[in-house]
Amino acid sequence: MKKFAFFLAALLMLTAGLAGCGGNDSGSDAGQQADGGQQTEVQEPAGDDAGAPEEGGADGDTLVMGTEATFPPYEFVDADGGITGIDAEIAQAIADKLGMGLEIKDMAFESLVSAVQGGAIDFAMAGMTVNPERAESVDFSTSYATGVQVVIVAEGSEIASIDDLDGKTIGTQSGTTGDIYCTDDYGQESVRQFSNGALAVAALVNGQVDCVVIDNEPAKNFVAANPGLTILETEYAVEDYAIAVSKDNPELLNQINAALAALKEDGTLDSIINKYIPAE
Ligand code: ARG
């Protein structure tokens, strides 16, 4: 079923081109950005041999990371058009540890797991929550961060807590855990899926949805950028972020876990996170 939905999504992307936002028809992922809008960033290996970058294949000189880069502070496109943020920097630090280069591919969030499975990318790093369904398809590294699903509303909204979401129109990023929880808890007809969080927030600003359910740090960024919005105190769900690797590549998983452990140990991980998420 999932495979079919994905196939359908791919077809729709081909035919529909760039679509703004999706409907809430579960089989339809028409809201997904076409991969044509993809950004690619190549970063050089740290003082290593400069062999031609290899597509996929962690045994090559370049690790290919997939992400969906409208998720600040974890990944976003900077003024120069490069993809930066916590995930990009941690990935670069991992690649440095492994003596490899890093290439980052921007794609629809929903495509990441299948891109890992199919080998189009070596790993996915996208503020991705570990959950049992995804863990059936990919292996997860040790967790490098915690995320919390929160609710963004317009200031003065009659939604004051999670209990008020019933009967409201909820904006989500398609395929995210926030999207999955809301669909489960409030029904598909209550959820409007968007291809990224920024579009969901824009719909909230325009009054097309009553709230947006999304991860807390991106939520803070979106609220800071859009006056008149606020985040409810209620935490909808607390989750672990980890890196997704193909089940066929246990070697890469071990290498990533070893690199993460070393980066935790020497303080690199904390300093990257603190750079983007100032202590409150
Ligand atoms: N943590 C949520 C999930 O795993 C949302 C992640 C969205 N990430 C992104 N880069 N857009 O489903």
114-162 pLDDT, tens digit each: 999 999 999 999 999 999 999 999 999 999 999 999 999 999 999 999 8
Mean pLDDT of 79-102: 97
Mean pLDDT for the chain overall: 84
pLDDT interval class at 60 (50, 70, 90) = low
72 lines ligand 1 (CB under 6 A): no
Mean pLDDT of 203-222: 98
Q: Which atom of ligand 1 is nearest to the CA of 74?
A: 10
Q: What's the count of helices (H) and strands (E) in the chain, helices before strands?
A: 9, 15
177-199 pLDDT, tens digit each: 999 999 999 999 999 999 999 99
- Quote the DSSP letter at residue 21: B
The whole-number pLDDT of residue 56 equals 45
> What pTM was estimated for this model as a whole?
0.80
Report the distance separating Cα 1 and Cα 82, nearest Å.
Answer: 35
Torsion of CA 52, 54, 55, 58, to 10 degrees: -150
Pick 169 or 13 by higher pLDDT.
169
263 lines ligand 1 (CB under 6 A): no
Report the distance separating Cα 164 and Cα 182, nearest Å.
Answer: 13
236 lines ligand 1 (CB under 6 A): no
Report the distance separating Cα 227 and Cα 204, nearest Å.
Answer: 12
- Quote the DSSP letter at residue 167: T
**Is 50 exceeded by the pLDDT of residue 1?**
no
